[in-house]
Amino acid sequence: MPINVVSATEDHSIRFHQYHLEDMGRVRVRKYCEVEDREVTSDEIGKGYELTKTQAIPINDEDLRELPLPTAKAIEIEAFVPLASIDPIRIGEGYYLQPSQPVAAKPYKLLVQALSRSAKVAVAKYAWSGRERLGLLRVKDDVIVLHAMRWPDEIRDPSELLPPPVELTEDEIEGALALMDNMSRDDLEGPEFRDTYTDALAQIIEAKREDKPLPEAPEAEETGGKVFDLMAALNESVARAKASRGEQSAEVELPKKQTAAKKTTAKKQPTKKETAAKKTSGRRPRSA
């Protein structure tokens, strides 16, 4: 199936160049040949593999196209699996696959229909940028999307990053669940999911261009050196989440029975009989 690979994402980041601050002259990286001691153009530059410190093997694009590998010129589907069986950490950038010739229309549509009805994704191999890669094929709006995937040995073992052991109460876990309930939604649309960093950076650039004062940064919340209270932080987060949704704020409700039981036990005073019984039970038994 002949296809074209089209980027599925756009990068709207603001990018910077390097300048000489004294006169704002552009600083550029020039490419020099160590043998001839001169600057070379892009047309003179190619790939090479360093065999030893004094010997390099040239590799050109034609060599890479003629790799003795089935995936060098095609995306080979290896299996169909449930999407839930793939750890999201292995999924990378996405690309749209576009039929490049009329003959590809029917098999392309067939794969789209099959993937859509099966609720599965395809795992494939393909060659890209000088190496063989693993990929995931899925359907979005009747278009096949290819996601680059990381090989299993490219995923680090996270066990070395675990925090030290801590104790969590049931109340704290219930508070976290209450926060999740209040922050749950069905979509990712809205001002919360806007790139505010790029907007703020654009404001700084515009202010400096017009020689105006820079916009003031919002003040960070101060803890005042208080001891961190997890339940208080959860209650505050739940209140903020409810306020953002226009609901009346309220604290996380703790289990009333457990709290009442603890208070009753703390206030209860032992009776004289109980005290006497404790003293009697504390005596050593007489020997026969």
DSSP assignment of 84-141, as one string? GGS-GGGEEEEEEEEE-SGGGHHHHHHHHHHHHHHTEEEEEEEEETTEEEEEEEEEET
Please state the rounded mean pLDDT for residues 146-171: 88
One CATH from 2.40.290.10, 3.40.50.2300, 3.30.300.30, 1.10.150.120 for 3-8+66-152: 2.40.290.10
Other C-beta atoms closer than 10 Å to the C-beta of 170 total 10
Most confident of 92-96, 228-232, 239-243, 263-267: 92-96
Cα–Cα distance for residue pair 178/67, rounded to 1 Å? 56
Residue 161 in 3-state DSSP?
A: helix
Torsion of CA 146, 148, 152, 153, to 10 degrees: 160
Per-residue pLDDT, 248: 54
Q: What percent of the chain has pLDDT over 70?
A: 77
Q: How confident is the model at residue 142 (pLDDT cuts 50, 70, 90)?
A: very high
Kindly tell me if the per-residue pLDDT of 250 is higher than 50. no
pTM metric for this prediction = 0.60
Average pLDDT, the chain: 78
Length of the chain: 288
In degrees and rounded to multiples of 5, residue 10 shows phi and psi of -125, 145
Distances (CA, A) of 20 to 32, 51, 137, 272: 21, 38, 47, 89
Cα–Cα distance for residue pair 48/73, rounded to 1 Å? 21
For residue 143, the Cα-to-chain-centroid distance in whole angstroms is 24
Kindly tell me if the per-residue pLDDT of 5 is higher than 80. yes
Cα–Cα distance for residue pair 114/198, rounded to 1 Å? 40
Please state the rounded mean pLDDT for residues 85-103: 90
Please, where in the chain does CATH 2.40.290.10 lie? 3-8+66-152
Most confident of 114-118, 235-239, 243-247: 114-118
Strand-pairing partners, residue 202, are: none
Q: How confident is the model at residue 114 (pLDDT cuts 50, 70, 90)?
A: very high
Q: How confident is the model at residue 266 (pLDDT cuts 50, 70, 90)?
A: very low
Cα–Cα distance for residue pair 219/246, rounded to 1 Å? 24
Cα–Cα distance for residue pair 111/139, rounded to 1 Å? 9
Cα–Cα distance for residue pair 71/146, rounded to 1 Å? 14
